[in-house]
Amino acid sequence: MTSHRIILDCDPGRDDALAIALTLASPEEIELIGITTVAGNVPLELTQRNARFLCELCGHVDVPVHAGARRPLTRAPVTAEEVHGRSGLEGLEVDEPSMPLQDQHAVDFITETLRASGEEGVTLVACGPLTNIAMVVSDAPKVLPNVRQIVLMGGVSRVGGNVTPVAEFNIHADPEAAAAVFACGRPITVFSLDATYQVLSGPDHAGRLESLGGATAQRLACLLRPFGGGAKGRFGPGHTPLHDPCTVAWLLRPHLFEAQSVPVVVETEGAHTLGATVVDWWGVTGEPPNAQWVTKADGDGVLDLLIERIARL
């Protein structure tokens, strides 16, 4: 029996691709009910295509893929092609998928799945801007008790942002959506840059995956190598942080991480702080904690898990 029933909401995206592959390679522990996509790293037309392509590549054409929000709740879209390439999966040759995109909008799919889940509930794993999840919070608040937990990649507190000095891309792309999700009242675990910058793929990791895996793993191995200038060389030659797979790794191996319960709010108005995740580490606001903020990650352990599992595909 699987331990986690999840919907994976994402914007593939090179590191999203690894999160999808890790999920699909772990069916004993994770039941992937469906993948929903959102505009983020690249526009929606590419995120939904990439999700379907990855399902086919990993041999799981049975997983439904639903497209969601084309733009943030109130702002103009932003993308991250400088990090992920024009295709979103730069370095990986993307074939046009034959599996269909589902007709149902992602928000409706999430809502109906939650409504039907009963006491067992569903975990929402969010690896992109939080627009789809925020729309569920706004449009269907009665289904929120069936959200078992939200595990998200986004935000930063201590190490500096990757799009502004204080903001991380997923939160900055739609800060109003992020603010709504953090205020929704459900259990939230946050993998910010504070944690994901501790999970660095180095020059040997792609080679390990290529040597251990078959044809699928060998194609995916390129995603363990850096592309573009998003990190501006801060991690050293050949190293790249693996953000989104941390969310899935936490479901599989929570002992690889440490977290602290804290109050978190999202800045939606500041001229210099838009998209900042403000973490009250010392309880100065008197507000109750609304999230588990992951502070430490065993980078070697996460990479060993990722390589071992994807090599199975």
> How far is Cα 161 from Cα 58, in angstroms, rounded to an integer?
32
Q: 160: burial class by Cβ within 10 Å (0-12, 13-18, 19+)? A: middle
Query: Per the residue annotation, which of 60, 172, 243, 255 is the catalytic one?
Result: 243
**Exposure string for 122-154, b = 16+ CB within 10 A, e = fewer:** bbbbbbbbbbbbbbbbeebeebeebbbbbbbbb
User: In 183-267, which ranges are E strands?
Assistant: 188-191, 200-201, 240-241, 257-262, 264-266
Q: 285: burial class by Cβ within 10 Å (0-12, 13-18, 19+)? A: exposed
Q: Is 60 a catalytic residue?
A: no
Q: Which two tokens stand for residue 180?
A: 């709504």
| Residues annotated as part of the active site | 243
